[in-house]
């Protein structure tokens, strides 16, 4: 046991001396708590822009913690850089809860939020969803290349 402990300390010393310690700009707690779970990027049927078709396109987030989390001021965006940004206002996700952010219009509930867009956000041929907290720190990302209707992240 003593040999293993001393060897481990020696390895740690070498790693720190060489600057090989990996750091993350995302707090570990945030990574494990909030997660982009699934993206339904290709709604069934033709992309005719109807509200029901728009609402069949969504991103589902999952709170993996045992505590409620305030998502007020958090954002969800796609990769186009063209202003597709959903901002949460006065919303708390339940412990171990899920919430879907639908593209179209609707009445917000605890489990379903509505972006209010009049056209599709998520590209059928590939895109990337990014979730940021109110400070602008990236909490999670999920990319896909198309070819199906949805992706588990």
* Contact (Cβ atoms closer than 8 angstroms) between residue 125 and residue 149: no
Between 65 and 29, residue with greater pLDDT:
65
pLDDT of 10-26, one tens digit each?
Answer: 433 433 333 433 333 44
pLDDT of 98-125, one tens digit each?
Answer: 999 999 999 999 999 999 999 999 999 9
The pLDDT score that the predictor gives to residue 37 is 98
The pLDDT score that the predictor gives to residue 82 is 85
Query: pLDDT-based confidence at 69, cuts 50/70/90?
Result: very high
Q: Is the pLDDT of residue 49 over 70?
A: yes
- Residue at token pair 């952010």: 101
CA atoms within 13 A on the CB side of 150: 13
When pLDDT is averaged across residues 61-76 and rounded to a whole number, the result is: 97
Residues in CB range of 71: below 8 A, 6 or more apart = 34, 88, 91, 92, 93, 99
When pLDDT is averaged across residues 68-91 and rounded to a whole number, the result is: 95
The pLDDT score that the predictor gives to residue 1 is 39
Structure tokens at 40: 């339904």
- Statement: the pTM of the whole predicted model exceeds 0.75: yes
The pLDDT score that the predictor gives to residue 138 is 96
The pLDDT score that the predictor gives to residue 130 is 98
Average pLDDT, the chain: 84
pLDDT of 125-149, one tens digit each?
Answer: 999 999 999 999 999 999 999 888 9
- What percentage of the chain reaches a pLDDT higher than 70? 79
Between 83 and 36, residue with greater pLDDT:
36
């Amino acid at each position: 046991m003593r040999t293993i402990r001393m060897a481990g300390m020696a390895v740690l010393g070498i790693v720190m001396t060489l600057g090989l310690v990996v750091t993350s700009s995302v707090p570990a707690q945030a990574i494990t708590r909030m997660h982009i779970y699934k993206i339904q990027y290709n709604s069934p049927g033709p992309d005719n822009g109807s509200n029901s078709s728009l609402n069949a396109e969504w991103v589902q987030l999952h709170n993996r913690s045992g505590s409620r989390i305030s998502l007020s001021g958090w954002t969800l965006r796609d990769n186009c850089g063209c202003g597709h940004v959903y901002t949460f206002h006065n919303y708390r996700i339940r412990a171990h809860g899920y919430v879907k952010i639908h593209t179209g219009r609707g009445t917000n509930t605890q489990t379903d939020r509505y972006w209010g867009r009049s056209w599709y956000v998520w590209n059928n041929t590939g895109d990337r969803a990014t979730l940021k907290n109110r400070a602008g720190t990236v909490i999670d990302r999920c990319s896909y290349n198309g070819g199906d209707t949805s992706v588990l992240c």
